[in-house]
């Protein structure tokens, strides 16, 4: 039997399953069992647990195995391709013993679960057709003990009620549009015309992050080449963007014919209506079937049999159909050579052919998401961000795209934010125009949770929070615990009440204690009628200096998963740009080595034909580029090559013919201090006439260079100014110094910021 795949809004899928149970009878409907197996990561953890090995040891070993659901890793593959995992296996006796014991267990069935979307509908009681299984204590939700393949094998019909996230996004986006745009209160996506110029411009520009099925980099490049101008083009691009058509040259033919660089060939006037929408290229299975009907005289049923035969590539069946097609064409008066040519073409394209009715339905969702992104970007992106709040990598991508589309994103706020991301009524908003601002959702702060946020929103309904003490006193601490409040402080959700996040974190303990004392006092009756404990408690903020920009961004990343309030590179930018002046976005290939700088966004080790290689992603806020580092250089600088660290490097930048981008190979690597000391001409300290030479000696002395240990040091210059004269004196080589940040900070405190200059 065929199976039925149907997509529903993710949030309402359970309603459909409940409807089916009511409609066909609970005894005839069940979901389908899945059997979880021990994958490479899980088998290491489970085997280690049974052997009573420390959790952190097993977890650390498991984390070295890459995770890719589309291409699962085995233990053998990890040992062959993952250097760090292999290194531990070879060098640690405990690791080798654990992995050797885990290998035979890999792939065994571990547990029984329930398929997320698979629903079985039987013609009578399910127990007449298959055994059922229910978890202890859940007798009401039995599932078939047969998995999806067994269900089909015994002749039962399987329905896949799939939850499609994009349908949920569309529903929420439409709700936002109706709420924030009085003129769109009756918006219905199904009534939109399919010829909106703005939507096709967005697609042609490749501005398709968050647009259904059109988000990948390759798809964006194809859209820029194709420049879709009608709905048929969207249907076609979804069918064409697959390995077969891309590799066969079909896509290039399609693009060239659309833009008039090649002539569309229809083979016969009778086929023009069938092939016109795809410029003479056979793209869809339906086109194969129609050609076989029009030219070969096939019936509808026969045409479907031909489609199946071509898909399965059975030579004996194809030989029969070739004869049938040619005989049918001759009977209808068509030239034999035309029949041979057409059949050869159909046979070639059938293996790439896509079902048009399927891709048309997806194209409609793609068009609706593109329309919303172009006309209502704030509402659409708020809905998109809300749909992936638990995945900080995706939130960061969508957030960056939101800013790129001219929509402002305000930080989380305990007095303003909702659980989800939401558009806001900007005070400068033009009447009748869509909003251009989004408020960050509290649910996207790591460590909060829906229950905690709902409690905050419930209590906020009784009045806005006035400070941290008021917040801790009013919310239910069983729902909103200390960890949640710390995450909100780090994310900046209390900034409108008190911008010093360091002081808020330092005060949190006393604020919670004061709230608990107030709660205890409220439950007791004073003999003297004096229950105003809150007045007597210390409710002052701790005296703590604010975090510097780097610390604030690092704390923000802990809470949100990325740097929201700025870029970490900005903290180093002034000095780093004096060493490597070219932003990554403006980098060009050159024969000469170039200086580059940025924050490490990712570091991964990979085995290649040339041995172990490290690929590091460098990010300076203008762009992200991948740097190749050979193993010898990596081993020398392993401690410096860590995520979120600033590095400065010299490397060769060349064109990469394979990817079409640039290839960068590192020759030398520095942290800021190493680069500073290798490139710095002098450390200049400006002193006035009342300078204290003894104090200068005390500050410099701990950092004097050690030439015997390979640290030549940086010359020190003193710019001396008095009422009658000024001069610059270079101290002797005995007073060359190392220049760490701590020395610069100490000199700055003594001589003032303008008095300390790094001369490059």
**What CATH number has the domain bearing residue 645?**
2.40.50.140
Q: Same domain for 713 and 692? A: yes
Mean pLDDT value across residues 719-731: 85
pLDDT in tens, 33-75: 888 888 999 999 999 999 999 999 999 899 889 887 777 889 9
Mean pLDDT for 714-743 is 88
What would the pLDDT profile of 377-413 be if each residue is shown by its tens digit?
Answer: 999 999 999 999 999 889 999 999 999 999 999 999 9
In a domain, 454, yes or no: yes
Separation of alpha carbons 58 and 83, rounded Å: 17
Q: Assess if residue 371 is contained within a domain.
A: no
Regarding beta strands 646-655 and 662-670, do their DSSP bridges make them parallel or antiparallel, or are they unpaired?
antiparallel
Q: How would residue 431 be classed by pLDDT, with cut points 50, 70 and 90?
A: low
As for how many domains the chain has, the answer is 5
Query: 609 and 657: one domain?
Result: yes
- For residue 251, the enclosing domain spans 182-364
Burial state string for 705-738 with b = 16 or more CB within 10 A and e = fewer than 16: beeeeeeebbbbbbebeeeeeeeeeebeeebbbb
Task: Give yes or no: residues 442 and 521 share one domain.
Answer: yes
521 within domain boundaries: yes
Q: Are residues 690 and 671 in the same domain?
A: no
Looking at the fold, whether 492 and 389 belong to one and the same domain comes out as: yes
Single out the residue in 628, 659, 675 at which a domain terminates.
675
> Rounded mean pLDDT of 552-568?
92
Mean pLDDT, residues 563-591: 91
In a domain, 57, yes or no: yes
Residue 172 lies in a domain: no
Alpha-carbon distance 536 to 518, whole Å? Answer: 10
Residue 171 maps to a domain: no
Tell me: do 88 and 17 sit in the same domain.
yes
- Which pLDDT value is given to residue 140? 63
Considering the domain architecture, whether residues 100 and 218 belong to the same structural domain is answered as: no
- Model confidence over 496-505: pLDDT tens digits? 999 999 999 9
Tell me the mean pLDDT in the region 523-544. 64
Predicted confidence (pLDDT) at residue 550 exceeds the cutoff of 60: yes
CA distance 201 to 620: 30
Residue 550 lies in a domain: no
289 and 437 in a single domain? The answer is no
57 and 143 fall within a common domain: yes
Residue 759 has pLDDT above 70, yes or no: yes
Residue 246 has pLDDT above 90, yes or no: no
Average pLDDT score over residue span 744-749: 90
Q: What is the pTM (predicted TM-score) of this model?
A: 0.81
Conformation bin of residue 732: beta by default, left when phi > 0, alpha when psi is -120 to 50: beta
Q: Which of residues 318, 339, 364 is at a domain's end?
A: 364
Residue 606 and residue 497 share a domain: no
What's the CA gap between 311 and 316, in Å, rounded? 13
Q: Is residue 551 part of a domain?
A: no
Coil/strand/helix, residue 222:
helix
Same domain for 203 and 327, yes or no, is yes
For residues 153 and 129, the answer to whether their CB atoms sit within 8 Å is: no
pLDDT band at 182 (very low <50, low <70, confident <90, very high): confident
Confidence of residue 532 (pLDDT cuts 50, 70, 90): low
Higher pLDDT, 288 or 348: 288
For 664-677, the pLDDT digits (tens) are: 999 999 999 888 88
pLDDT (tens digit per residue) in 664-710: 999 999 999 888 888 889 999 988 766 688 888 999 999 998 776 66
When mean pLDDT is compared across 9-13, 293-297, 730-734, the lowest value belongs to 9-13
Long-range contacts of 327-336 (CB under 8 A, 24+ apart): 328/295, 328/296, 328/297, 328/298, 329/295, 329/296, 329/297, 331/297, 332/295, 332/296, 332/297, 334/268, 334/295
Residue 191: pLDDT band by 50, 70, 90 thresholds? very high
**Mean pLDDT computed over every residue of the chain:** 88
CATH assignment at residue 392: 1.10.150
H/E element holding 107?
A: none
Q: What DSSP letter does each residue of 499-516 carry, written as one string?
A: S-HHHHHHHHHHHHHHHH
Measuring CA to CA, which residue among 322, 360, 363 is closest to residue 344?
Answer: 322
Contact 402, 409 (CB under 8 A): yes
Same structural domain for residues 285 and 335?
yes
% of the chain surpassing 70 pLDDT: 94
What sign has the CA pseudo-torsion 208, 210, 212, 218? positive
**Max Cα distance, the chain (Å):** 113
**Domain boundary pick from 675, 703, 718:** 675
- Per the CB < 8 A criterion, the answer to whether 440 and 411 are in contact is yes
């Amino acid at each position: 039997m065929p199976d039925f795949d149907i997509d529903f809004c993710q949030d309402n899928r359970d309603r459909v399953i409940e409807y089916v149970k009511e409609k066909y009878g609970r005894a005839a409907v069940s979901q389908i069992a899945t059997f979880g197996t021990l994958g490479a990561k899980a088998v290491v953890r489970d085997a280690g647990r049974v052997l009573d090995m420390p959790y952190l040891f097993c977890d650390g070993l498991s984390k070295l195995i890459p995770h890719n659901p589309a291409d699962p890793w085995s233990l053998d593959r990890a040992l062959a391709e993952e250097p760090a995992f292999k290194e531990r296996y070879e060098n640690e006796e405990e690791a080798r013993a654990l992995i050797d014991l885990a290998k035979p267990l890999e792939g065994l069935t571990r547990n029984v679960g329930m398929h997320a979307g698979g629903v079985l509908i039987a013609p009578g009681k399910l127990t007449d057709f298959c055994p059922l299984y229910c978890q202890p204590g859940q007798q009401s939700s039995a599932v078939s003990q047969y998995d999806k393949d067994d269900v089909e094998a015994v002749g039962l019909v399987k329905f896949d009620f799939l939850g499609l996230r994009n349908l949920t996004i569309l529903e929420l986006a439409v709700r936002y549009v109706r709420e924030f745009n009085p003129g769109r209160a009756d918006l219905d996506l199904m009534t939109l015309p399919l010829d909106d110029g703005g939507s096709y411009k967005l697609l042609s520009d490749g501005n398709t992050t968050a647009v259904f099925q059109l988000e990948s980099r390759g798809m964006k490049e194809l859209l820029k080449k194709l420049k879709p101008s009608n709905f048929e083009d969207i249907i076609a691009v979804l069918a064409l963007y697959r390995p077969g058509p891309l590799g066969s040259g079909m896509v290039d033919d399609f693009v060239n014919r659309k833009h008039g660089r090649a002539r569309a060939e229809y083979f016969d006037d009778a086929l023009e209506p069938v092939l016109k929408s795809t410029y003479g290229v056979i793209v869809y299975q339906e086109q194969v079937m129609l050609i076989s009907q029009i030219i070969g005289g096939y019936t509808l049923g026969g045409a479907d049999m031909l489609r199946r035969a071509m898909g399965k590539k059975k030579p004996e069946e194809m030989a029969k159909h070739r004869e049938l097609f040619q005989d049918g064409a001759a009977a209808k008066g068509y030239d034999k050579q035309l029949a041979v040519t057409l059949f050869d073409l159909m046979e070639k394209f059938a293996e790439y052919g896509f079902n048009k009715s399927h891709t048309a339905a997806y194209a409609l969702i793609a068009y609706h998401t593109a329309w919303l992104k172009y006309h209502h970007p704030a509402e659409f992106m708020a809905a998109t961000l809300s749909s992936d709040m638990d995945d900080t990598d995706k939130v960061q991508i969508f957030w960056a795209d939101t800013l790129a589309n001219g929509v402002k994103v305000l930080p989380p706020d305990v007095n303003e934010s909702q659980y989800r991301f939401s558009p806001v009524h900007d005070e400068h908003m033009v009447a009748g125009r869509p909003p251009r601002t989004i408020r960050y959702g509290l649910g996207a702060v790591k460590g909060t949770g829906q229950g905690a946020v709902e409690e905050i929103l419930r209590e906020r309904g009784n009045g806005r929070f006035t400070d941290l003490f008021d917040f801790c006193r009013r919310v239910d601490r069983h729902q909103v615990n200390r960890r949640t409040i710390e995450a909100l402080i780090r994310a900046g959700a209390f900034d409108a009440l008190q911008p010093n996040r360091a002081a808020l974190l330092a005060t949190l303990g006393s604020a919670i204690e004061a709230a608990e004392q107030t709660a205890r006092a409220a439950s007791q009756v004073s003999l003297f009628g004096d229950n105003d404990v809150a007045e007597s408690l210390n409710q002052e903020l701790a005296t703590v200096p604010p975090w510097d920009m780097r610390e604030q961004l690092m704390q923000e990343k802990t809470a949100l998963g990325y740097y929201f309030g700025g870029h970490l590179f900005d903290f180093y930018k002034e000095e780093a740009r004096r060493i490597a002046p070219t932003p990554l976005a403006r980098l060009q290939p050159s024969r000469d080595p170039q200086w580059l700088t940025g924050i490490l966004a990712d570091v991964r080790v990979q085995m290649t034909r040339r041995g172990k290689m490290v690929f590091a992603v460098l990010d300076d806020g203008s762009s992200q580029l991948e740097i190749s580092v050979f193993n010898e250089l990596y081993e020398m600088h392993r401690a410096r090559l860590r995520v979120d660290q600033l590095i400065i490097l010299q490397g060769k930048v060349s064109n990469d013919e394979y990817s079409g981008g640039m290839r960068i190979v590192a020759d030398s690597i520095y942290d800021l201090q190493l680069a500073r000391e290798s490139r710095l001409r002098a450390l200049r300290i400006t002193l006035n006439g009342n300078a204290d030479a003894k104090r200068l000696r005390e500050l410099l002395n701990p950092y004097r260079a050690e030439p015997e240990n390979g640290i030549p040091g940086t010359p020190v210059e003193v710019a001396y100014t008095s009422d009658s004269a000024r001069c610059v004196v270079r101290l002797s080589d005995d007073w060359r110094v190392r220049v760490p940040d701590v020395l610069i900070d100490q000199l700055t405190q003594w001589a003032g910021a303008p008095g300390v200059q790094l001369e490059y």
